[in-house]
Amino acid sequence: MASDPFQLFDEWFAEARASEPNDPEAMALATAGADGQPHVRMVLLKGHGPEGFAFYTNEQSAKGDQLRANARAALVLHWKSLRRQVRIEGPVERVSAAEADAYFATRLRDSQLGAWASDQSRPLDSRTTFEEGFEQVERRFEGKDVPRPPHWGGYRVSPGTIEFWTDRPHRLHERRLFTRDADGSWSEGLLYP
């Protein structure tokens, strides 16, 4: 059997990009802080390879707090049209400032401004407060490039396991589990569905 989970991921991701009606890069990110309570939300996959699976966010958000307390996460991508699921689990590290800068620079200007205007995960008294904050940020950066806010960056989940799930008739699904060995190589096995 193939023992390069990244090549398989690339193939599946390319097929998802070609077939999903929207957001093929959407993935659920599960984290748990010091109290052990799991939290899950969607984020967008913005880079992947043997070094890990990256997403970008506000580092002062709830997920940022949880990752500071416990730098481990689980991801799941579900491509409904293809009836496929990929699960990834492992330790998390921050992407470098240079990498975060490079990605931030590719975002649309309003998204860049939004990163300054949003106190992500904090209580908001009204939508108007947020809109006024956004307008202030628009004025602040008028005529200038918008730099990456210091509290905004990326995280990379470095996989210890990657599982590829394929729908099969009668719920006799196929599950291929790749596990990273101590020497960094990958071994593959099957799981009962």
Q: What track of x and - describes contact with ligand FMN for positions 75 through 104 (by CB under 6 A)?
A: ------------------------------
Write down the catalytic residue from 171, 175, 176, 180: 171
Whether 171 is catalytic is: yes
133: enclosing H helix or E strand: helix 127-140
> Which among 13-21, 40-48, 155-163, 180-188 is the span making contact with ligand FMN, rule CB under 6 A?
40-48
Nearer to ligand FMN, 56 or 104 (CB): 56
Task: Spell out the residues 6+ positions from residue 109 whose beta carbon is closer than 8 angstroms to its own.
Answer: 146
Nearer to ligand FMN, 97 or 190 (CB): 97
Q: What track of x and - describes contact with ligand FMN for positions 108 through 127 (by CB under 6 A)?
A: ------------xx------
Euclidean distance between CA atoms 74 and 161, whole angstroms: 10
Backbone dihedral angles phi then psi of residue 165, each to the nearest 5 degrees: -115, 130
Cβ-contact 162, 88 below 8 angstroms: yes
Backbone dihedral angles phi then psi of residue 50, each to the nearest 5 degrees: -55, -25
Using CB under 6 A, list all residues that contact ligand FMN.
Answer: 23, 26, 39, 41-44, 55-57, 61-63, 120-121
